[in-house]
Amino acid sequence: MFQDLPKLQHLQIRNYFREPEKQKQFRNRFKGSLKSLRTSPKLEELHINNTDISSGLEYLPENAELVIYCSAKLRPESLCKELQKELEPYEKEGVFYDYQAFLKSLPNKEQLEELYMQKGIKFSDENASELDFLKDFKGLVELNIEYCPFEGSLKHLSELKNLKRIYISHTDLREGIEDLPESCKEIYCDFHYKSKYKSVKIAKELGGGLLLVGQSDTEDPNSQRYTQIGGVIAIAAPFIETLTSYVNEQGKAKVDKALSDLNKEIYNFLKEYDDDGNEQIDIDELKVARGTLTEDLRKKWEERDGEEDSRKGNKLNKIVEAIRGLEKEVTEYRKAFYRWVREEEEKKHRKEKQKEKVLHTAVDMESDDEKERIEENDLVAQIEVTPKNY
């Protein structure tokens, strides 16, 4: 009910009874989790007294000004008493606050799978802007810290072996992609050439991100617009040569081929269902074409001479397969880049070692020459001072 309310600042869904006998008659029915409020970054005041809301504190926006009112005093059987127990250590004059402190002391951190933070976080500790406080959240699958004042490296996430996707747009995180766990295949990081955020460095390395369909940006010929299937993500990113200058042309060609295949499958799908030609498919268009769509979804991949027939099969399935192919090639592309970085560092190290060895050899040779000259001079001196025998 409270989803998609980004401007929400105050919410009162409490039960307040002047007469105890009227509790059952007027009790509201809110129960369950606060998870839906995670998209309300401006929330400053929340009243859930005497309700059956029993979980979801970890999903609340990490706003330093957020004040939570939670008490089961007038209705002891209400389930919000579970949240009241968790918030008691941060109570001040009957008001529960300091959500940041709650997150840090959250028990069973390893069981949390999704953590969604919003801009507006303020740190009382100067060192709190690093991500090292997340190292105990071993079960994290998805992490969203967009617009949050985090900085430094992603290396603190290296031990989160279940992490699959992270959102780090508009932060000051600037390095550490190579330290992310193998499980993390999706990294979302926006880029704009005028951006003041240091995360643009990561966006450059990613070349826009994974699982994204590239098309030219008509407003800026030096940039590229990436859109994920379904319009979940739309980010502007420059098509720079950060990777292409490091990876051989064969690797680049494979990525371009995968992009081309995906664009072709999307075009085929739009051609079938996009009646108004706006490159989007809305519910009304699907209703009109529901018969065709139903028939298409029933199709399976057919083979001809042991190979898939591109003219047959489920169009949506073909798009999914094309996305998987693109993900594979981009992943290999990134790996090749990091291999190149390591090889260059090793070459540099070897050159420095060789240079030190040459200098050391030169010094040794100079010492040997000096030693020979000294010995020769000593010999001449000995000859000159040796008395003649008559």
Residue 221 has pLDDT above 60, yes or no: no
The residues near 390 (Cβ < 8 Å, ≥ 6 apart) are: none
Rg of the chain over Cα atoms, rounded to whole angstroms, equals 32
Mean pLDDT of 162-167: 89
The number of angstroms, rounded, from the C-alpha of 359 to the middle of its chain's C-alpha atoms is 46
Per-residue pLDDT, 278:
59
Report residue 162's pLDDT band, with 50, 70 and 90 as the boundaries.
Answer: very high
DSSP 29-87: --EEESGGGGG-TT--EEE-TTSEEEE-GGGS---TT-EEE---SS-TT-TTHHHHHHH
Mean pLDDT of 153-160: 90
Mean pLDDT of 171-196: 79
Residue 363 has pLDDT above 80, yes or no: no
Q: For residue 39, what are its two tokens?
A: 């998209």
Identify which of 308, 185, 218, 327 has the alpha carbon closest to the alpha carbon of residue 262.
327
Residues pairing with 166 in the sheet: 143, 187
Q: What one-character DSSP code corresponds to residue 387?
A: P
Q: Give the neighbor-by-neighbor strand order of the sheet with 213-216.
A: 213-216, 223-227, 234-238
The number of angstroms, rounded, from the C-alpha of 163 to the middle of its chain's C-alpha atoms is 9
Overall size of the chain counted in residues? 390
E-only strand ranges, the chain: 10-12, 31-33, 45-47, 52-55, 67-69, 91-92, 95-96, 114-116, 142-144, 151-153, 165-167, 172-175, 186-188, 213-216, 223-227, 234-238, 303-304, 307-308
Per-residue pLDDT, 310:
45
Residue 186 has pLDDT above 50, yes or no: yes
- Express each pLDDT in 288-324 by its tens digit: 666 666 666 666 544 444 444 444 456 667 766 777 7
Rounded Cα gap, residues 292 and 301, in angstroms = 17
Report residue 147's pLDDT band, with 50, 70 and 90 as the boundaries.
Answer: confident
Percent of the chain with pLDDT over 70: 43
Q: For residue 289, what are its two tokens?
A: 């074409």
Q: How many Cα atoms are found within 13 Å in the side-chain-facing hemisphere of 22?
A: 6
Report residue 31's pLDDT band, with 50, 70 and 90 as the boundaries.
Answer: confident
- Express each pLDDT in 331-342 by its tens digit: 676 666 666 667
- Express each pLDDT in 96-142 by its tens digit: 444 555 566 667 778 888 887 655 455 545 555 778 878 888 899 98
Residues pairing with 53 in the sheet: 32
- 3 state SS of 140: coil
Per-residue pLDDT, 5:
73
Lowest-confidence range among 67-71, 107-111, 119-123, 236-240?
A: 236-240
Lowest-confidence range among 3-7, 28-32, 229-233?
A: 229-233
Residues pairing with 304 in the sheet: 307
Which pTM does this prediction carry? 0.36
